[in-house]
Structure 1
């Protein structure tokens, strides 16, 4: 049985059970991508889709009966893609939308708390 380990784009080490090689995972090759560079490889949510997500979030805030889960938001984005409003490539994964909801909700709650504190100081 062959086991292949891809160390970088050009070098592949092939192993079989009779000639086992050990690879030190604690000491990666020096040419691996650093964490700061890998962040640039992440796909960002495009502003148009972000606006749609915010609108869906605010609708759920105003009327809790219309609050949408990440899956429901993604389905709505897929519906809009089917109608030609947005591109399929711009629709994030469900897990990305769930993370966006968590982050956006946290920021929204902070801004509402600051707003309430400012209103209390002004009265």
Structure 2
């Protein structure tokens, strides 16, 4: 083993838990959209439509555009 392998600057940490998390305010909006679609099945939104709704909220200033998750993230959240 090379010398200095245990020094902090040489230590490699896993990236577990370093994923970007969905902000609480965004989750609240997603829950609201999801519950509204459960009340009226004809108003059911798919992940792409939920993404577009969140983008509209971001453009209006309700949430930060950086906090809008990807469509695949929303799809995983729905399932």
Q: Aligned Cα RMSD in Å?
A: 1.5
**5 Å matches for 1:62-81?**
62-81=39-58
> Structure 1 unaligned runs (5+)?
1-30, 103-123
**How many residue pairs end up in the alignment?**
70
Could you tell me which residue of structure 2 aligns to residue 46 of structure 1? 23
Could you tell me which residue of structure 1 aligns to residue 7 of structure 2? none
Point out 4+ residue stretches in structure 1 off by more than 2 angstroms: 31-34
3-state SS of paired residue (1:39): coil
> Structure 2 unaligned runs (5+)?
1-10
The structure in which a higher percent of residues are strand is 1
Q: In structure 2, which of residues 55, 73, 77 is the aligned counterpart of residue 96 of structure 1?
A: 73
Give the structure with higher Rg (CA). 1
> 1:32 Cα deviation (Å)?
4.7
- Normalised by the length of structure 2, the TM-score is 0.82
Could you tell me which residue of structure 2 aligns to residue 15 of structure 1? none
